[in-house]
Structure 1
Amino acid sequence: MIFFIAFVALLCLSTGFAAWKGGPPERIAAGFYWTAWLITLFASPQAMDRWRTVEIGYLLIDAALLLGLGAIALRANRIWPMAAVSLQLIIVVGHAAKALDPRLLGSAYAIMSVFWPYLQLLILAGGTWAYWRRTRTHGAVPSWSSFSRP
């Protein structure tokens, strides 16, 4: 229960900070994280069966989040989304590893799926802070890379 409370607190703080002081990429990512988390609450399997088989609901949510973060990473004039999408890829690969080898320990599968979002939210907060600091010292900075514009 303590990990759930810590995650919700980190989610609220990091995404709230991103919505308050971040640019469009940070705000969009914050929305993606909230959407994924809220959908995850409804896709949550029974506690007894959790992590014994591939979590299909979680896999679909994590794959969608990977695509969303990947789009941000490709278009944003930021570095932090590359780290966030890399961690999300690890999560999706964790689902694939469990699918390929059902004997994979449930604890290993859980760690691969649950640990990285904490770091992703810290990265979002760090990226938001860097953007906010940069705009305070250099004025407006473009949110999207010039090669991504039509």
Structure 2
Amino acid sequence: MQISSQEWLGLAIMALSCAFAAWRGGRMERRTAAVIAAAWTFSILLDQDGHHGVQWRILAIDILLLGYLLHEVAFGKRLWPLFAAAAHGFVVLTHAAFFLDGRIQHWGFFTAYYVWSYAVLAALVGGAVWRPREQV
């Protein structure tokens, strides 16, 4: 398995974002940081040479992460998961677009994939920064 420089950069940004959310955030942010970190890690470990065809295992991980984020939207009391779920919905739609039209070049796919993934991380960090104080 060979990890590209773009994947290393993505891992570094994800690790810093999740570490910040775990340090500064509340329970929801810590839990979500752990789920996102696991999803990114498993996606890289299960990558089947991302330059050829639809990555079905990564799509499955992204759908599970979207389900988790939608659960936080439905049952949480914070606003940031709505933005994270919307952005991650676009990640899943990026997979669908690539499946439906193979003419999409891989660089376009990965650019959209990472842009929306970074938006999910931005929502998580924003949630950690602007969280209400928890009752002790």
Fold conserved between structures, TM > 0.5: yes
Decide which of 31, 39, 43 is 1:36's aligned counterpart. 39
**Superposition misfits of 4+ residues, deviation over 3 angstroms:** 1-6
What value does the CA root-mean-square deviation take over the aligned residues? 2.0
Q: Secondary structure at the residue paired with 1:115?
A: helix
Shift of 1:124: 0.8
CA distance in 1, matches of 2:9, 2:41: 16
Share of identical aligned residues, percent? 29
* TM-score, L = length of structure 1: 0.78
CA distance in 2, matches of 1:95, 1:51: 13
Based on CA coordinates, which of the two structures has the bigger radius of gyration? Answer: 1
Answer whether contact 1:18 1:125 (CA < 8 A) is retained: yes
Answer whether contact 2:11 2:40 (CA < 8 A) is retained: no
CA distance in 1, matches of 2:23, 2:78: 17
Moved more, 110-119 or 3-12: 3-12
1:9 matches 2:4 = no
Q: Secondary structure at the residue paired with 2:130?
A: helix
Shift of 1:106: 2.1
Q: In the TM superposition, what are the counterparts of 1:79-118 in structure 2 within 5 Å?
A: 79-118=79-118
Q: In the TM superposition, what are the counterparts of 1:34-73 in structure 2 within 5 Å?
A: 34-46=37-49, 50-73=50-73
CA distance in 1, matches of 2:117, 2:76: 20
CA distance in 1, matches of 2:125, 2:40: 17
Structure 1 residue runs of 5 or longer lacking an equivalent are: 142-150
Partner AA of 2:115 in structure 1: F
Aligned to 1:24: 27
CA distance in 1, matches of 2:122, 2:91: 16
1:78 matches 2:78 = yes
CA distance in 2, matches of 1:3, 1:102: 22
Structure 2 residue runs of 5 or longer lacking an equivalent are: none
Partner AA of 1:117 in structure 2: S
* TM-score, L = length of structure 2: 0.85
